[in-house]
Structures are given as structure tokens and as C-alpha cells.
Amino acid sequence: MKKLLILILLASQLPAFACDICGCANGSAFVGLLPRAGSQFVGLRYRSRVFDSHLNSVMLKTRETYQTAELWGRFYPVKNVQLMVFVPYNSNHQVLRYSGTEVNKNGLGDAIVLAHVNVLNTFLDTTKTSHIYQSLMIGGGVKLATGKFEYGYDNEINPNFQLGTGSTDFLLSAIHTIKMHGWGLNTEIGGRIATRSNEHYRFGNRINGSLTLFYTKNWGMFSVMPNAGALVDYGFHDLKEGVRNNETGGVSTLAHAGLETYYKRYSAGVSYKMPVYQNLGGGELKALPQFSVHLMVNF
């Protein structure tokens, strides 16, 4: 039982690259709390995000829905190094409020590969007698240009509505977890450094952070981990051939709550995010609540 509890608590080491706040093309990988650090897994995740855009235009006001079905996995190629892979399939739907015109984009999104080094971990240190445990992971990764990106001066579709960014971007993160008597706090800081696409469009760099409070309760081989917290995401403006796109970038703060469940090799979770403050796209973009659910098999 003690070993199972430690493995589940180590879940909180894993990164949450915030929060897909500006659509599919410009979103980052959100990982969240995961089970059994030290074990490998493969899984499926579904995410849904909704935005209202062009808020101050009667003719161009739109409702945009982004749905992603994602294959993801965690592997340990060497000791103390965690490798994660994300392969998303995106389904984007846009409705022009004035005319009712609909636009759909479906296809492979931008794949992501992340690696983290565990530089501090007292969870598995059997020589310690303290009831306070902590860990620190530092790492980064790359977002590959596997999703389709087509954008020009005469393109009326939001560049975030594309399936990918058309660029190879770089990710950085640091994750600290502290736990005592079943309670834990996860603190994460991350960022994304964007490069320019072949269409000379460059999405803005991003900085984000989150705090998540969690509690673990065990009943034999079955465990639950309710969690809640807040995350903040700041995006710099996009550039088109060096010219700033003023309807991009901004800051948002979201409250989130979720529940993770674990049984033997299997785990499932659900998460809900509610914007509590946002100033996005120069006031032209509004994020609505977000939802995600995932299933995983450990091996």
C-alpha cells in the first residue's frame, strides 16, 4: 500500500504546458497530474475548447470550437530521464455569426516531444524519515511542424484556427512538487520559443505557470486524487513578416478542478477549466470553459 501511495503521489511531478488558451495551432501540451511515476504508459486524451473571436465586429464575429483527440505516452529511455510524446488529431469548427457560414478543418496537429530530468526526488529515498517529500524536474522539448498551416494576407481565418503553426518551436519547463500526509502542491513554470513558418508568420512566444493542490485517498488497489488550482498564461504578439498582429497575444488566468482515478494498471481522469480573467487578442478574443478527459494503461 505504501509503495502504491508513493507512486501515485509522484504523479504530480509531470508538466502542464499551459493551457491551449489560443486555439489548436497556438496551444501547448497540457499534461496535468499523471499516475505512477517510474512506470511507462500509453493513453488517449480528448480536449474541447471554445472561443468567441472578432468580438467588436458585427460582420466577422465567430464562434470557434477546437476538439482534439490525442495519443500520448511516457517512456524512460535512461534512469531519471522521462520522455513524453504527444500526437494530436484536431477537429476545428468555425461559425460566422452574421451569415451562419461554417468552416471546418480536420487533420493531424503538431506533434510534441518532451524530456525531463529528475534532479531532486525524496519520494523514493528510503533513508529519509521525514513526512515531507518533494521533487524537482527540469527539461524541455520540441513542437514539430506536423500540422497543416496555410495563411496569407487575404486569409480571413484566424491563424490559430489552422491545424498547426507551420513552425518548429522549443519548450522549457520546471516542475516542483511537495507532499505531506496525502496533501500535495504542484508548482510549474513553462515557456515556448516560437520560430517563423514558411509563410513568414511567427506565433508569439509564451510564458505560463500553474499551482495545483491535490489530495490522494486509497481504498486497496483503487485510488482517487481530486485536485484544484489556477494557471496563468501570457502570450506575446504574433508577427507577419515582422509586422505585429495586434489581434493576438494577451494574458489569461483560469481556475481548474479535476479528478484522477487509479485501479491497478489503469487510470482515468477529467479536468474542467474556467477563465476568471482574460485580456486576449486586444479584446477581440474570449475564451469559454474548457474540458478534457483521458484514459491510460501503465506497463
Alpha-carbon separation of residue 109 from 42, 67, 254 (angstroms)? 18, 11, 24
Range of the domain at 9: 2-298
CATH number of 128's domain: 2.40.128.130
Domain count, the chain: 1
pLDDT at 154: 52
pTM over 0.95? The answer is: no
Question: What tens-digit pLDDT sequence spans the chain (299 residues)?
Answer: 544 444 444 444 444 443 344 555 555 555 656 656 668 999 999 999 999 999 999 898 999 999 999 999 999 999 889 999 999 999 999 999 989 999 999 999 999 999 999 998 886 665 555 678 888 999 999 999 999 998 765 555 678 889 999 999 999 999 899 999 889 999 999 999 999 998 889 999 999 999 999 999 999 999 999 999 999 999 999 999 889 988 899 999 999 999 999 999 999 999 999 999 999 999 999 999 999 999 999 98
Cβ–Cβ < 8 Å for 123, 136: no
Q: Residues, the chain, total?
A: 299
